[in-house]
Amino acid sequence: MGTALTFVIAFVLGSIPTGAIAGRLAGVDLRQHGSGNLGATNAFRILGPRYGTPVLIIDIIKGAIPVLLIAPLFAATSPLGPTGIRALAGLAAVAGHIWSPFVGFRGGKGVATAAGAFLALSPLGALAAIVVWAVLAMSTRYFSVGSLGASLVLPFAVWFETRLRGTPQPWILITSAALLTVAIVIRHRSNIARLRRGEENRFGRFRGGG
């Protein structure tokens, strides 16, 4: 029962459509502009930092809260154990963000929420992935390249941290990171296609201003 409740609560929290809410406040439907995505990247591109920054922060928090606050409530009664229930909470939050029922199952691409979940699950691994994201995004000026690179690095960075810390049940965290990598890469299929055609948008000026 505790495992199911953890999944449901984490999924619902993750599915809060922050991008759609920000767009509504700004009088814009993000699904009709830019990439049509409801994540932080499109919010920055279309609405600017004034709206994009809160979307990014809240999307990160959506991943962290289930791991830090929800999962521990049910860890004692879950057969998954403390590590397993926390990993499940993180995965459920990302799944909710990607397939939010509040917006017709068309949410974001999961990058910010996955970052929040793994900052709670494997902070050093998450920070390593964030550094990779920053280096790639800043050097290429493609957010998508940064996101793809970070997601590919994450399982290896998590593996390294589990070895460094002697984390119990390390395979749970590594497998969870790998699952998120697959989900994020799949969600970036259109970006990959545009990159191959040379049509992907570089970031620069934001339409929405400050």
| Cα R_g (the chain), whole angstroms | 17
Query: Could you tell me the pLDDT band of residue 204, with boundaries at 50, 70 and 90?
Result: low
Count Cβ atoms within 10 A of the Cβ of residue 21 and give its class: 0-12 exposed, 13-18 middle, 19 or more buried: middle
Question: Is the pTM above the cut of 0.95?
Answer: no
Judge contact between 104 and 21, C-beta under 8 A. no
∠ CA 112-202-96, nearest 5°, is 25
How is residue 34 annotated by DSSP?
Answer: T
Which of 165, 61, 48 lies closest to 116, judged by CA? 61
Of 11 and 203, the one with more pLDDT: 11
pLDDT digits (tens, 9 = 90+) for 146-182: 999 999 999 999 999 999 999 888 999 999 999 999 9
Q: Residue 208's pLDDT is what?
A: 47
Judge contact between 158 and 118, C-beta under 8 A. yes
Q: Residue 17's pLDDT is what?
A: 96
Question: Side chain identity at 41, as an amino acid letter?
Answer: T
- Listed by start position, the domains of the chain span 2-197
The two three-digit tokens of residue 200, written as one number: 């992907």
